[in-house]
Amino acid sequence: MDDRVERLLARISTADPADSLVARDLVSLAVELGASDAEILHAGDQSFGSLVVDLATRPPGEAVTLAALADSARLDPVLVRRAWGAFGLSAPEADEPVVAPDLAKAIGSVGFLAGLLGEEAAIGIARVIGSAGAQLAEALSSATRVGYELPQRDSGASYAEVIGRIALIARDQLPNLSQAVAAVVRRHIVAVSKQPWTADVARRAVTVDRVIGFVDLVGSTDILRTLTVAEVAANVNRFEQLIGDVVVGAGGRVVKLIGDEAMFVVADPVHACSLAVDLVAASAQPVRVGLALGEVIAFHGDFYGPTVNLAARLVAVAAPGTILVDESLAAAAGEAIELEPVAVGPLRGFPDVTTAHRIVQT
């Protein structure tokens, strides 16, 4: 094995002697994990760490090209490549992407969904999977680098040693994490299946009646400019935790976090108003909230339509520490929530909306 490592290193150029030592350690580790010469030479001295992680977590079985996968699985080659792109995966233009067995099954699942639901629906679901997967990977990577890699390096471990340990941890724990993700998705599917719904006239999308909410951190741009990176991260974490705890605790769902703003959805009008009050009261930094009730389009895990846009307009004009709701939500909440009219308009895109209602907080 030493001869093979030396032969490979001779074909990899590293200007810095320190880089050469790192490359030697990582190439040795890659060889131990079963890397081919082509994989090692392709990785180059800048991405051996990712190759080691790939090798440690790669499932058993032969990897194939997309073209070979399409042929063996009797799938449309165009659909196979669309699924690959929808998953957010890429490869150098000169290379044909190589698919490991687990990803081959994922692409096969897209093929099944295409036959069941139509190609565009299947590709849309693949995009959601790709986006969620990329976000989870970024979150795991950042947390591992700060919570494990840096302390290990500070204790004297070499980069190659740390990467080796991370690769083995990933190999042992990634199957458990995959099962955890599947379990959470299953529970959400069960929850969504209980919810009433209708379809649009063309029967192309699901529509539901929901309260859409937006919560915005007041003055966050100016505040964040004065903070260190660590303080910004802590600030974001507090905001995300607050939104998650309050919204989910009230039976709602956090749809997305957009920097210093979050969008959420709630089925019950009174619960929506109550959680908005809780958000304002619990936030260490001033927030404002906009709520609107009406029919929304549920598509690819997100929500669209005039109700969403109206809620976004209301949060934009809400004063710090206040909650504005539209006429529909005010009527639905009835006497359960104390409200007072507020002049707000006309709002952009809603010239007829000149009055909203502010929740009186006691």
pLDDT digits (tens, 9 = 90+) for 37-90: 777 777 765 577 888 888 889 898 888 999 999 999 999 999 999 999 999 987
Q: Which domains does the chain have, with CATH numbers?
A: 198-359 (3.30.70.1230)
Rounded distance, CA 102 to CA 60, Å?
A: 9
pLDDT digits (tens, 9 = 90+) for 191-221: 999 989 999 888 989 999 999 999 998 876 6
Q: How does the average pLDDT of the chain come out, rounded? A: 89
Rounded distance, CA 96 to CA 64, Å?
A: 10
CB 228 within 8 A of CB 319: no
Do β-strands 206-217 and 287-299 pair in parallel, antiparallel, or remain unpaired?
antiparallel
> Per-residue confidence at 101, pLDDT binned at 50, 70, 90?
very high
CB 122 within 8 A of CB 91: no
Global pTM value = 0.87
Q: Give CB contacts under 8 A, 24+ apart, made by 18-24.
A: 19/45, 22/48, 22/158, 22/159, 22/160, 23/48
Q: 223 to each of 34, 217, 226, 232, how far by Cα in Å? A: 50, 10, 6, 9
Q: 158 to each of 163, 215, 217, 264, 290, how far by Cα in Å? A: 9, 44, 41, 44, 51
CB 362 within 8 A of CB 338: yes
Q: What is the DSSP letter of 268?
A: -
